[in-house]
Every structure is written in structure tokens, then in C-alpha cells.
Amino acid sequence: MRLDDVRHGGLRRAFSVIGLSLVLVVAGCAGSSAPDAYYGLTTPPAAETGRAGRAARVQVLVPAPRALQALDTASIAVVDTGPVYTYFPKAAWTDTLPKVVQAKIVQSLENTRGLRGVGLPGEGLLIDYQLQSDLRAFELRIDGQDRAVVEMMVRLVNDRNGRTKATRIFRTEVPAKSTSVTDAVAAMNAAADAVLREISTWVLSNV
């Protein structure tokens, strides 16, 4: 049965039988068949650089965010009280979630035009800073209020001496219209856009 067709009460009863103290990682929730739909993330509008169009003469490397196994997957997470993780059936991100988020961080920073260069590991850039990150939440929460939650801890590290320049936690919650995968992804997109805009502005203010 698809989440679209399940009322909130039935959805929560289905999750509660699993046990509130158990983190359930269902790697193959859709069985052996491929998802019916793949979902991506939009790239937020360019953040305000405050540089009057002049790019900083630095280059930033963006490794993939670290994440627990529950989020290090292409499955789209639904989280109930516990936390208990399950996933939307027949739906997936276009890649594993850390790689999807990594690509959007790069695009968000590039769109600001406030840096000399932004790259991925292995691209051979002469790097000034690394933007390291932990993906702490990226899910639809159904623990009393249906909402998308995106939370990331980011660390700006000087690549030449290994010293941390700045660290910050970014978190945004956006209400979801329903527990359908379409509405859940729309809310996650909005939350991710807000977080990525804040991260981009923060990076530019610290390089």
C-alpha cells in the first residue's frame, strides 16, 4: 500500500509496531523491482555574496557529506518517534542522498559567483578550503506534526594547515501538505533550499 493512500493514524500504527527503540534500516523497501519514480533536489537561487560581483580568490573542495547508514542510501526516509526509520516504497533519490546533497552544495556555491572555484575530490584543483559536512537529518518527520527536517553540521577547514576556520549547524523544518511522497519531497526541497542558501552565505563570509 502506498503512503499516499494511508491515513495518518494508520501510518503511525504501522510504524509503532516496529518498536520505538529500534532504528529500522530497510535497504530494499521496494523489493527487487526498480522504483516507479526518482526524485532530485532543486538548486536554490544564488545567495547574496556581499562582494559586489567580485569573487574571492579561493577555491573550495566539497567532499560528500558523512551520514549514518539510515541516510546513506537512495531511499527517501520517513521518521517516526523513536526514532524509527522507514522509507517510501517505489520511490528513490536520483543517487545516494549524500551524493545528491554534495552536488547541490557545489551548484549553490558556484551560483553565488563569489568564489574562484568549487570542486569535487579528484578534480585536481589547488584547494584553499574544504567544506566538510555531516548530514544529520533529511527526512519526513511524522512524530506528531508532518514536516520535512533538514539538518547539517558544516566545517570549513583550511586545506593548507588542516585547521578549522569555522563550524556551524544549519537546520530548517518545513510543514508537509500530506504524507504522500510528492508532498514530502516538495517540503524536503524547500527545507534543503533554505539550508543551502544559508550555508553558501556562511562560506562566503568566512573565506
Give the pLDDT score at 93. Answer: 97
User: Rounded mean pLDDT of 152-178?
Assistant: 95
Q: Has residue 117 been placed in a domain? A: yes
Calpha distance 145→34 (Å, rounded)? 30
Share of the chain above pLDDT 90, in %: 64
Calpha distance 91→38 (Å, rounded)? 6
Give the pLDDT score at 131. Answer: 97
Q: Has residue 60 been placed in a domain? A: yes
Q: Has residue 47 been placed in a domain? A: no
Flag whether pLDDT at 19 surpasses 90.
Answer: no
Give the pLDDT score at 63. Answer: 96
The structural domain count of the chain equals 1
More confident residue, 124 or 158: 158
Q: Which CATH number fits the domain that encloses residue 116?
A: 3.40.50.10610
Q: Has residue 114 been placed in a domain? A: yes
Give the pLDDT score at 55. Answer: 63
Flag whether pLDDT at 200 surpasses 80.
Answer: yes
Q: Has residue 107 been placed in a domain? A: yes
Query: What digits encode the pLDDT tens for the residues 86-140?
Result: 999 999 999 999 999 999 999 999 999 999 999 888 877 788 999 999 999 999 9
- Average pLDDT taken over every residue of the chain: 83
Give the pLDDT score at 56. Answer: 75
User: Rounded mean pLDDT of 14-41?
Assistant: 53
Q: Has residue 41 been placed in a domain? A: no
Q: For residue 196, report the phi and psi dihedrals to the nearest 5 degrees.
A: -65, -35
Beta-strand pair 84-87/77-80: antiparallel
User: Rounded mean pLDDT of 140-147?
Assistant: 94
Lowest mean pLDDT among 47-56, 70-79, 110-119, 139-148: 47-56
Q: Has residue 45 been placed in a domain? A: no
Which domain, by its residues, includes 157? Answer: 3-29+55-206
Q: Which amino acid is at 44?
A: P
Give the pLDDT score at 125. Answer: 74
